[in-house]
Amino acid sequence: MIGSLYHPGDTPLHRIPAAAKLGFLFAAGLALFLTDSPAPLAAAAAAAALLLAATGAPARSLWRQLRAVALIIALVFAANLAFADAGTAFAVLCRLSALVMAAMTVTVTTRTSDMLEAVERGLSPLGRMGLANPAKVGLAVALTLRFVPEIFGHYREIRDAQAARGIAASPLAILVPLVVRNLKAAEDIAAAIDARGFGAPRDGASPKERHRP
Amino acid sequence: MTDIVLDNVSVKRGASIVLDSLTLALSERRVAVLGANGSGKTTFVKLLNGLVLPTAGRLMVAGLDVARDVHAVRRRVSFVFQNPDNQIVFPIVREDLAFGLRNRGMAKDEIADRTATVLARLGIAHLADRQVHGLSGGEKQLVALAAAMVTGPSLIVFDEPTTHLDLRNRNRIRAVIGEMAEDAVIVTHDLELARDCERAVVIADGRIGFDGCPAAAIDWYVGRCS
């Protein structure tokens, strides 16, 4: 079973503040789309691979997280090879690989609570302007990180149950129960979040805010 | 002791009546709620911290009208769900306990103190930095309970807390519920756990089928099921 995306550790990457890592990821994401030249993109992919290796997370655990995305990247590479040219396909391969490995480096070395805090702080100017709700965006990020492994777990259970009944693997046969099960889980999770006081006025809030339903 | 008063409380979903004109006053420290699947018992307990609101009637918990003061009620009433996997929001135990306290705007130092205290109280301090996905079913249920306790409620509502557990973990959860200082309302199919309570309410087809001491309630319920 795929585990949590975060890998506890005390590497220099773990010690960098979450906001700095997210800022770097944002900038790297933009920079990777500023060039189509294979050489700098290959260098970026190599650098991202080195960063990921420096997280100290076991290679097996990293591969378990990477393999589904690797398949998609391989498909995109094959499509570019078929409909464009080898140079473009290689550039796309390097760009996506660099982006995915850089993002994994951030998730593997950053606690969800630190990420949540950084997102909330980063979005607070938008919150003051009424353009976004930083707490909700932060919670959405946290939930994504928490439940990606759960969804993989559900996939495995459904696949095992179907295999035990002699049902051959088919995307539709897996997708329908997977969506239904995750929607049901989402309903329970939403209730749990409500029950735990998310969105309630905080201690010290004004009486007006406290009485708002 | 957390007073719970239902006055003609009904819950409807579309055309169907889930709970029908319940009138009840509870003040015991341990109350079991029994009933068949689909009888309305989970809806009944979800009323207690405003996860479901009455469509008719009035529900007061600790002197607060749930429909009017839902946030205030949730500060006093915590909820432990049947499946801890759907309750635990953060991947690390310590982070998950902090979630409810962050929602109250508590300072980091105080969050750390309260989290450590509750984990120690439940004997799971060693799990503080563990990843949730690696815990056993019993450990997850204890973490879910710790997350419910950490906000300092006067009442904890449990929805089938022992359903997914083996005998050892079931006994552990029973012992914890028995010893905890907070009041508890427990939906359960576990008749031994119900026997530990001071009072039992059986919900049958959205109504109160039986209300009284656990031994008599269990007899009534078993008789109805056989």
Q: Same domain, yes or no, for A137 and A110?
A: no
pTM above 0.80, yes or no: no
Q: Is the model's pLDDT at B176 over the cut of 80?
A: yes
What is the per-residue pLDDT across A97-156, written as a single tens digit (0 to 9) for each? Answer: 999 999 999 999 998 888 888 888 888 888 888 888 888 888 888 788 777 777 888 888
**Contact predicate A200/B79, CB 8 Å:** no
> How far apart (Å, rounded) are the C-alpha atoms in residues A114 and A117?
5
Q: Which residues of A touch B91 (CB under 8 A)?
A: 4-6, 112, 145-146, 149
For residue B84, the 8-state DSSP code is G
> A92, A117, A142: which is the final residue of a domain?
A117
Q: Is the model's pLDDT at A211 over the cut of 60?
A: no
Provide DSSP, B11-71. Answer: EEETTEEEEEEEEEEE--SEEEEE--TTSSHHHHHHHTTTSS--SEEEEEETTEETTT-HH
- Whether A207 has its CB under 8 Å from any CB of chain B: the answer is no
Q: Same domain, yes or no, for A56 and A28?
A: yes
Q: Residue B184's closest CA among B196, B172, B169?
A: B196
Confidence of residue A4 (pLDDT cuts 50, 70, 90): low
- Whether B91 has its CB under 8 Å from any CB of chain A: the answer is yes
Q: Same domain, yes or no, for A70 and A42?
A: yes
Residue A140 inside a domain? The answer is yes
**Percentage of residues in chain B having pLDDT higher than 90:** 72
Q: Same domain, yes or no, for A26 and A103?
A: yes
Q: Is the model's pLDDT at B34 over the cut of 80?
A: yes
Residue A128 inside a domain? The answer is no
Provide DSSP, A159-194. Answer: HHHHHHTTPPP-HHHHHHHHHHHHHHHHHHHHHHHH
> How far apart (Å, rounded) are the C-alpha atoms in residues A195 and B30?
20
The predicted structure's pLDDT at residue A209? 40
Chain A closest-CA separation from residue B89 CA (Å): 6
Residue A1 inside a domain? The answer is no
What is the per-residue pLDDT across B4-28, written as a single tens digit (0 to 9) for each? Answer: 999 999 999 888 999 999 999 999 9
Q: Which one of A4, A194, A196 would you mutate to disrupt binding with B, by most B Cβ within 10 Å of its Cβ?
A: A196
Q: Same domain, yes or no, for A24 and A103?
A: yes
> How far apart (Å, rounded) are the C-alpha atoms in residues B206 and B224?
15
> How far apart (Å, rounded) are the C-alpha atoms in residues A185 and A171?
21
B146-149, Cβ contacts within 8 angstroms, sequence gap of 24 or more = B146/B93, B146/B97, B146/B118, B146/B119, B146/B122, B147/A196, B147/B87, B147/B88, B147/B96, B147/B97, B147/B99, B147/B100, B148/B78, B148/B79, B148/B80, B149/B78, B149/B118, B149/B121, B149/B122, B149/B180, B149/B182
The predicted structure's pLDDT at residue A213? 32
Who wins on pLDDT, A170 or B78?
B78
Chain B closest-CA separation from residue A79 CA (Å): 36
Neighbours of B226 (CB within 10 A): 5
The predicted structure's pLDDT at residue B90? 86
Counting Cβ atoms within 10 Å, is residue A121 exposed (0-12), middle (13-18) or buried (19+)?
middle
- Mean pLDDT, residues A85-92: 93
Residue A89 inside a domain? The answer is yes
Q: Same domain, yes or no, for A200 and A109?
A: no
Judged by CB atoms closer than 8 Å, whether chains meet at A198 and B103 is answered as yes
- Mean pLDDT, residues B166-172: 88
Q: Is the model's pLDDT at A2 over the cut of 80?
A: no
Q: Same domain, yes or no, for A156 and A104?
A: no
Residue A122 inside a domain? The answer is no
- Mean pLDDT, residues A51-76: 90
Q: How many domains does chain A have?
A: 2
Judged by CB atoms closer than 8 Å, whether chains meet at A195 and B78 is answered as yes
Q: Is the model's pLDDT at A202 over the cut of 70?
A: no
Q: Which strands make up the sheet holding B30-34, listed edge to edge? A: B77-80, B155-159, B183-187, B30-34, B199-204, B207-212
Q: Which two tokens stand for residue B197?
A: 């309570």
Q: Same domain, yes or no, for A25 and A89?
A: yes
Q: Which residues of A touch B74 (CB under 8 A)?
A: 194-195, 197, 200
- By Cβ distance, the residue of A6, A8, A201 closest to B71 is A201
- Whether B140 has its CB under 8 Å from any CB of chain A: the answer is no
Q: Same domain, yes or no, for A111 and A173?
A: no
User: Minimal Cα distance from B103: which residue of A?
Assistant: A198
- Mean pLDDT, residues A148-174: 82
Whole-Å CA distances, B102 to A188, A200, B15, B105, B111: 21, 11, 39, 5, 8
- By Cβ distance, the residue of A113, A153, A188 closest to B95 is A113
Q: Same domain, yes or no, for A162 and A90?
A: no
Give the number of A-B residue pairs with CB atoms closer than 8 Å.
102
- Whether B104 has its CB under 8 Å from any CB of chain A: the answer is yes
What is the per-residue pLDDT across B63-101, written as a single tens digit (0 to 9) for each? Answer: 999 999 998 999 999 999 988 888 888 888 998 999 889
Q: Is B17 left (phi over 0), alpha (psi -120 to 50) or beta?
A: beta
The CA dihedral of B93, B43, B65, A189, to the nearest 10 degrees, is 30
Residue A127 inside a domain? The answer is no
- Mean pLDDT, residues A147-174: 82
Judged by CB atoms closer than 8 Å, whether chains meet at B133 and A198 is answered as no
> A83, A117, A151: which is the final residue of a domain?
A117
Confidence of residue A3 (pLDDT cuts 50, 70, 90): low
Residue A123 inside a domain? The answer is no
Judged by CB atoms closer than 8 Å, whether chains meet at B89 and A8 is answered as no
The predicted structure's pLDDT at residue B12? 93
The predicted structure's pLDDT at residue A146? 77
> How far apart (Å, rounded) are the C-alpha atoms in residues A110 and B73?
34
What is the per-residue pLDDT across B178-219, written as a single tens digit (0 to 9) for each? Answer: 999 999 999 999 999 999 999 999 999 999 999 999 999 999
Counting Cβ atoms within 10 Å, is residue A141 exposed (0-12), middle (13-18) or buried (19+)?
middle
Confidence of residue A203 (pLDDT cuts 50, 70, 90): low
- Mean pLDDT, residues B147-172: 91
Q: Same domain, yes or no, for A111 and A181?
A: no
> A87, A117, A147: which is the final residue of a domain?
A117
Q: Which residues of A touch B79 (CB under 8 A)?
A: 192, 195
Residue A155 inside a domain? The answer is yes
- Domain hosting A60: range is 12-117
Q: Which two tokens stand for residue A51?
A: 């960063």
Q: Same domain, yes or no, for A57 and A110?
A: yes
> How far apart (Å, rounded) are the C-alpha atoms in residues A178 and A161?
12
- By Cβ distance, the residue of B71, B90, B129 closest to A146 is B90
